[in-house]
Amino acid sequence: MNNNLILEAARQAWERMEPMRATRLRHTRYTYGDQWADPVTLRDGRRVTEGEQVSMSGRPPLSNNLIRRLVKSVVGRFRQESAGAADASEIPAATRRRNRLGELDARTLEEFLISGMAIHYVCAETRPAGAGIWVDNVPPERFFANAMRDPRCCDMELAGRLLDMSVAEVVMRFAPADRRRARELRRLYGALADTPGVTASPDAPVTFYHAAPGRCRVIEVWTLECREWLQVHDPAEATYSLLDASREPEVKKLARRRRKAGLPEPRWRTSVRAAWHGRWLAPDGTLLGEADSPFASGAAPFAVKMYPMTDGNVHSLVEDVIDQQRYVNRLITTMDHIMGTAAKGVLLFPVQSKVEGMKWADVQRMWADPGGIIPYRPAGDAKPEQVVTPVADIGARDMLQTQIKLFEEVSGVGEALMGKSISAAVGAQRYESEVRNAAASISDLMETYRDFLTTRNDLILGLSPT
């Protein structure tokens, strides 16, 4: 296949996923506390953030991050349930330890709750930390795939990721023992680095062609291709192998040698089979390297799960509760403004009652001092008086409690699932029943994530365990 056509197909798949990346970025902001950054339009047509709009009215934008508590509760529940399951897993202990799978799975679940996407990359290679099977978490902002509708992602035909490497790593991976090839790669990325607009600031969003400053962009693309293969059975060595059809002359040559030596000859037949093929491309379309699927099944090295994939759409748990979070923030800000504008301990001091020679700063200091004495000159009935105005009750507190309750009901993560303390009057059996009922509301989400882990584990077991 033409590498430029593959690169263009990868770019189109990347652009198609832009709405998902924008939605994920918004959900990430809300999860980690930046909850006033949504754009709004003022009456004069200016575009500002909601936080800037609130600040213009003289109120500080406040927030009570309920989403972060929600995410931490679900991840904590998953860790508790997975504590004993790791020992019973079929994954070799060395692979689990090398990849810190317990920590990796928890962080991937956090991403799954925020964006509705979980992506792992499985490979067998040598790294500074050791040789063996490695599992990488692929951020959705660096992943692309063709349009899919199957919740199992069985209709995936193109998938890939964006990699940022140093020049040394590019040479090590794609020209480990070829000095001429190494010089070509250094010259290639040197020319790309000199191209205006190729480098970007560290805070800039990820783009398809441009790596971070000082890095080289490598585009890894896997495509599902139908190719002709040789099914080879070698009775002398008791092996069965699947070879590319271009290697048929080698098999025939081996058969002739065996025939002359009086040994069992290999037998083979051709077949057409769909399998994944990977290519590593530079931003200009230069082929850096390629490889067939390392799995006997011909699968891609990606385990992908998108939730719920109804009509190809992704909707995360965080998305369900953003509206409640926004309303809670508005109520808290409004209540703070009401309390801030109410008169609290204001001292009314008649001007004619002030002692001659005393400064107003002295009066303020003595008034604020516990047990302080403020001398004043009586002038009829006028005397210093402190004013405290009760805060107007507009029902904001009740509305706030209602929204927090709605937050728990919409998310399905209630007090029992969060592990909050309960009344002594509630028995242990009833509490366990409440926990089970609360867990049932998010069981679909968690079972989907566990199905993702099953797919990932099948990929690990498809490679030689170490």
Q: What is the pLDDT of residues 139-188, one digit of tens each?
A: 999 999 999 999 999 999 999 999 999 999 999 999 988 999 999 999 99
Q: What is the pLDDT of residues 304-354, one digit of tens each?
A: 999 999 999 999 999 999 999 999 999 998 888 777 776 667 788 888 888
| 201 has a pLDDT exceeding 60 | no
pLDDT of residue 466: 45
pLDDT of residue 59: 86
**CA 135 to each of CA 103, 113, 289, 434: distance values in angstroms, whole numbers, following the listed order:** 12, 20, 21, 36
Specify whether the CB–CB gap between 309 and 112 falls below 8 A. Answer: no
Backbone phi and psi for residue 64, each to the nearest 5 degrees, phi listed first: -120, 100
Cα dihedral value 70, 74, 76, 82, nearest 10: 180
The SS3 assignment for 136 reads: strand
Cα dihedral value 218, 220, 221, 225, nearest 10: 130
> Cα separation of 379 and 357, whole Å?
17
Q: How confident is the model at residue 198 (pLDDT cuts 50, 70, 90)?
A: very low
Q: What is the pLDDT of residues 354-413, one digit of tens each?
A: 888 889 998 888 888 887 888 888 877 778 888 776 666 667 778 888 888 888 877 877
The SS3 assignment for 121 reads: strand
H/E stretch holding 352: none
> Cα separation of 387 and 223, whole Å?
75
Q: Which of 179, 141, 70, 51 is nearest to 438 (CA)?
A: 70
- Answering whether pTM is above 0.85, one says no
H/E stretch holding 303: strand 302-306
Where does residue 412 fall: left (phi above 0), alpha (psi -120 to 50 degrees), or beta otherwise? left
- Give the number of residues written for the chain: 466
Q: Which of 276, 231, 218, 269 is nearest to 1 (CA)?
A: 276
Q: Which residues contact 281 (CB under 8 A, 6 or more apart)?
A: 3, 6, 7, 10, 218, 219, 220, 221, 287, 288
Residue-averaged pLDDT of the chain: 87
Q: Which of 227, 228, 229, 220 is nearest to 278 (CA)?
A: 220
pLDDT of residue 162: 97
DSSP 428-463: HHHHHHHHHHHHHTTHHHHHHHHHHHHHHHHHHHHS
Which of 50 and 399 is assigned the larger pLDDT? Answer: 50
pLDDT of residue 356: 84
Q: What is the pLDDT of residues 5-34, one digit of tens each?
A: 999 999 999 999 999 999 999 999 999 999
pLDDT of residue 420: 61
pLDDT of residue 164: 94
> Cα separation of 107 and 117, whole Å?
12
Query: Which residue's entry shows tokens 């020679």?
Result: 357
**Interior CA angle at 369 toward 363 and 374, to 5°?**
40
Q: What is the pLDDT of residues 263-276, one digit of tens each?
A: 999 999 998 888 89
**Mean pLDDT to the nearest integer, 56-76:** 91
In 94-238, the DSSP E strands lie at 117-127, 130-137, 143-145, 158-165, 216-234
Q: Which residues contact 302 (CB under 8 A, 6 or more apart)?
A: 119, 120, 121, 122, 138, 156, 159, 222
Residue ranges of alpha helices (H) inside 32-154 are: 50-56, 66-82, 93-99, 101-115
Specify whether the CB–CB gap between 318 and 113 falls below 8 A. Answer: yes
